[in-house]
Amino acid sequence: MSGIHVSTTINGDAVEYVCRPGEVLLDVLRDRLGLTGAKEGCGTGDCGACSVTLDGRLVCSCLVLGAEAEGREVNTVEGLADGNTLHPLQTNFIKHAALQCGICTPGFLVASKALLDRNPNPTETEIRYALAGNLCRCTGYDKIVRAVQSSAKQLAKDATKTKAKAKSKKNKSKTKKKRA
């Protein structure tokens, strides 16, 4: 059987691969590209352990064909950290003990990031609703919700700080121009 050549973007990098027509994106990520963050829990779209985003939309990579990533933008849990600096969601999951065995964690992180990207200040109900497609057998969910709430607060604080810094930089350069 001939393979399908796919050109896509994964975590900001241009990536090419050849996959079988019926091969799911989860298997491509894990077995062909070595991106083993997404996990296979059920393989039927029920557990969310394989969550990734496709053009910003949360999907179960066990239900998406590898060929469907052609020309699209895929983001996985591996793209969350900035080099050695963990994303606030990652640090808060650790801080709030929002993981135990960790199998579900990559899926929860990706789903939480997708939520905060579209709704930076979600209510507890909105968080629970957004994460309803992700199953965890260990934590009881409350710690996960707390971790997402703390991350939302932290991201909002960071955004305010960045804005304030940019403003003071702008003001300083204005003052310099006036003096010159």
* Interacting residue ranges for ligand FES, rule: CB under 6 A: 40-43, 45-50, 60, 62, 99-105, 136-139
Choice between 4 and 63, CB closer to ligand FES:
63
To ligand FES, the closest distance from the beta carbon of 34 in angstroms equals 18
Give the bridge partners for 10, in sequence order.
Answer: 13, 74
In whole angstroms, what is the distance from residue 143 CA to residue 89 CA?
12
Choice between 88 and 106, CB closer to ligand FES:
106
Choice between 62 and 69, CB closer to ligand FES:
62
To ligand FES, the closest distance from the beta carbon of 19 in angstroms equals 17
Choice between 33 and 45, CB closer to ligand FES:
45
In whole angstroms, what is the distance from residue 56 CA to residue 118 CA?
9
Question: Quick check: 59 and 76 in contact, CB under 8 A?
Answer: no
Q: Name the token pair of 161.
A: 């700080």
Please give the C-alpha separations between residue 88 and each of 53, 95, 96, 116, 172, in angstroms, as whole numbers: 18, 10, 12, 11, 30
To ligand FES, the closest distance from the beta carbon of 39 in angstroms equals 7
To ligand FES, the closest distance from the beta carbon of 12 in angstroms equals 23
Give the bridge partners for 65, in sequence order.
Answer: 24
